Amino acid sequence: MRDTKVTIRDVAEAAGVSIAAVSNALNGTGRLSEQTRLAIQEVALRLKFRPNLMAQALIKKRTLTIGLLTDDTYGRFSFPVMAGITDALVDHGVSVLLAAVDEDPERARLHVNALLERRVDGLIVSGRRADRHIPLDLSDADVPVVYALTASPTGSPTITVDDQDGARMGADWLLKTGRRDIVHVTGPESHLAARHRAAGYREAIGKPGRVMHGQWAERWGRQAVAELWSGASPPPDGITCGSDQIARGVIDELRERGIGVPEQVGVVGFDNWQIVADATLPPLTTIDMNLRMLGQQAGLMVLAMSRGELDTAAEHKIPCTLVVRQSCGGGQRVEGEEV
């Protein structure tokens, strides 16, 4: 059976030009008039010609691979980030190589060297905290580097989550559902994310409010409720949490005390960790960090840098999204909110 795949020679014959002219027209190179270049591109489009990506990579000395380095060995953050990177790069014929690193700089350097020896076209470094960087010195890397969800020690482009605006959205939602006394229960004050989320809560309620710092754990959510319901101040009718795990602990403790959620207290989490949010009783209204979108943007950033199309000092923040379930009351949407 005859192979009907369209080749560059077919395009050249149909356009009445040389193979070199077709290559220059499709790659944006060479000294062709704009009219000739467009005519060749139209012929290629009509014939449904698809260039050989590997051949292009060899010509441009590219391997069509990107390395992803992460210290999130559990996968809570790295898996959705990697899925987003793959989403963004698959149509460009680019594959992603994952390397897990830990706190040992020497072992981390071994992973970096292994990726560089494979001649990856770029590196994405992803972590668990935006205020800490993985112990890697990539200042001498001869490929583009993008930092996603972790700090850059080298001034390379970074992409993080807009924690403050996300927490503001959560508190705003509680206000729109009629809550008037809202408390924020979050992680350690030493974490930048916890401080940003506390700032977003305060922005929404328009006053200092009550912020309780503790651990990123269900047991802290339980302890916070115990303190709130045994203190001198009246208990709140709304609680925003710095993580879904904290929110899960808050709701479990409220239920065991006979306090109705959402009838008496509305609760909002942060993360949209679906296995936690869906299994909470009632299911948890929460803030989605859009980690897949973050991965997509990181992939496009490193691709643009490899083409010389992006300012190396670029910094971006990914917007969060409110995901409404039943922990605030009915799961009804307020007009204008992203759900």
Domain harbouring 203, CATH code: 3.40.50.2300
178 in the same domain as 30: no
Query: 328: pLDDT confidence band, cut at 50, 70 and 90?
Result: very high
Nearest CA-CA partner of 147 in 326, 294, 307: 294
222 in the same domain as 77: no
- Residue 251 · residue 261 · CB < 8 Å: yes
146 in the same domain as 84: yes
210 in the same domain as 277: yes
242 in the same domain as 193: yes
248 in the same domain as 192: yes
In-domain check, residue 239: yes
In-domain check, residue 323: no
Boundaries of domain holding 202: 163-285
* pLDDT tens-digit readout, 72-101: 878 888 899 999 999 998 888 888 999 888
In-domain check, residue 253: yes
Helix, strand or coil, per DSSP, at residue 324? coil
Query: 2: pLDDT confidence band, cut at 50, 70 and 90?
Result: very low
CA distances from 245 to 47, 127, 150, 198, 317 (A): 55, 19, 21, 16, 24
71 in the same domain as 22: no
280 in the same domain as 171: yes
273 in the same domain as 216: yes
In-domain check, residue 96: yes
Structural domains in the chain (count) = 3
211 in the same domain as 115: no
257 in the same domain as 168: yes
In-domain check, residue 43: yes
* pLDDT tens-digit readout, 170-213: 999 999 999 999 999 999 999 999 999 999 999 999 999 999 99
277 in the same domain as 176: yes
Phi, psi of 60 (to 5 degrees): -90, 5
| pLDDT > 90? residue 337 | no
